[in-house]
Amino acid sequence: MTAGFSIDESDEFGSRAARHLREDQVVWFTTVGPSGAPSPNPVWFLWDGAASVLLWNLPTSARVAHLAANPRVTLNFGGDAQGEDIVVLSGTAVVDRTRPGADAVPDYLAKYGDEMVAISGSREAFAATYNTPVVVTLSGLRGH
């Protein structure tokens, strides 16, 4: 973790960024492919309230493969239709197989449990399919 990274929720921008991290259902997770091109993907995520974000992936996804060669990533929220409310977080990401499955994390279940069932038939089936946990350690925040 970058020493001292935190989101200052006492100012308007930091407060907005933290609200997105707490409340939004989807974030654009951008990795870098072998050609050097960015590869954005919408993903579900869980913020720890401090300096990391956890997400689960298909083990065969390109984004997981990209991390082995280049762990630098961004998380981007959609903004509004007027080019405002832009929030971009940067950091490094690693596959962390010590993490529990998505079906064993109460906050993730509270946020996505119904959707997990809708996609996979059960929470357990979702966790078995999307079984590759990735942890993003945040190091930067920009936007407006």
pLDDT tens readout for residues 23-54: 999 999 999 999 999 999 999 999 999 999 99
Alpha carbons 49 and 19: distance in angstroms, whole number? 10
How far from 93 is each of 18, 63, 64, 134, 137, CA to CA, in Å?
Answer: 19, 10, 9, 6, 6
Q: Would you say residue 2 has pLDDT above 60? A: no
Give the pLDDT confidence of 56-115 residue by residue, as tens digits: 999 999 999 999 999 999 999 988 887 889 999 999 999 999 999 999 999 999 999 999
Q: In this structure, what are the phi and psi dihedrals at residue 42, rounded to the nearest 5 degrees?
A: -75, 135
- Integer Cα distance of 132 and 61 in angstroms: 9
Spell out the domain ranges in the chain. Answer: 12-95+132-143
- Phi and psi, residue 30, nearest 5°: -110, 120
What is the DSSP code (8-state) at residue 103?
G
Q: What is the mean pLDDT of residues 123-127?
A: 98
- Does the structure show a pLDDT above 90 at 4? no
Q: How confident is the model at residue 15 (pLDDT cuts 50, 70, 90)?
A: very high
First CA to last CA distance, the chain:
24
- What homologous superfamily does CATH list for 12-95+132-143? Electron Transport, Fmn-binding Protein; Chain A (2.30.110.10)
Q: What pairing do the DSSP bridges indicate for beta strands 87-95 and 132-143?
A: antiparallel
